Structure 1
Amino acid sequence: MWRIPPQRTRWPMLVPEIADLGVRAVFAFPLCLFHGARIGVLELYRTQPGRLDTQRCRAAAGYAAALRPIVVEELDPSRNPTMVDPALSPRGTVHVAAGMMAAQLRVSPADALTRLRAVAFAQHRRITVIAQDIIAARLRFRPEDSDST
């Protein structure tokens, strides 16, 4: 079995999972608006390790550029009013906030969700309200505070 030691990768949790699926190379091409804001990413996977050659890299960048207007149209609520973003539901909001908390505290998403529950319990507040405060940047966490959340 092909493995990269966890200490040699930027993504020690991801690499073993995708390696088990036969993935040996991952390529990401941002989907950007005209002013540079990123709205998504085109991810490509390959079973052979190595870089994309120039021709394939240009083709993939072209596919990403072609996808941009389609994604923008799908995300426009005035054009697609029936689309509901799952992140806007109370449960989705909690997971988005846990992800933000994980990044701020430099912990796993599971640990962040546990800490988010603990904060809600300790403050006698609903977890969805705490989550909204995190997403709105009214509540932030620092790695040095990670033991006292």
Structure 2
Amino acid sequence: MSNSPRPADDHAHHDAGHDTGRGHGPHGDSGHATSLDADSPYIDVAVEVFSMLADQTRMKILLVLRDGELPVGELAGRVGKTPTSVSQHLAKLRMARMVHARQEGTRVFYSLVDEHAATLVTQAIYQAEHAIDGDPHPPRRWR
């Protein structure tokens, strides 16, 4: 991910619930851009997040890790790739702060930092399912 500066109130909207980007003016109540405005200071970093997720193996890793932490070897088996390949993808996901590594003896276990990246992957799969199957089910956005 980049070293782009982050706004000082970076986590403020998370503490009080998600910011809807809706307020009384074009920038919410305060007159400042909110995280969901078109001129949000987070857009560049969000583009990098999607770039990181634009890889089949990394998407599979994030989906598998929704069930809990796993060592590289088991992750590799679950996503159908070699441990070396999975380790390279995990290094990128660690740099992007999407996964966390924990060493136990000679083994390294990986887990999700939070649910955000896995939620994006899940939503992308739902979108693909809808696009391909024309699935008439209601959106799973709030599930």
Task: Compare relative contact order (CA 8 Å, sep 6+) and give the higher one, 1 or 2.
Answer: 2
Structure with the greater alpha carbon radius of gyration: 1
TM-score scaled by structure 2?
0.25
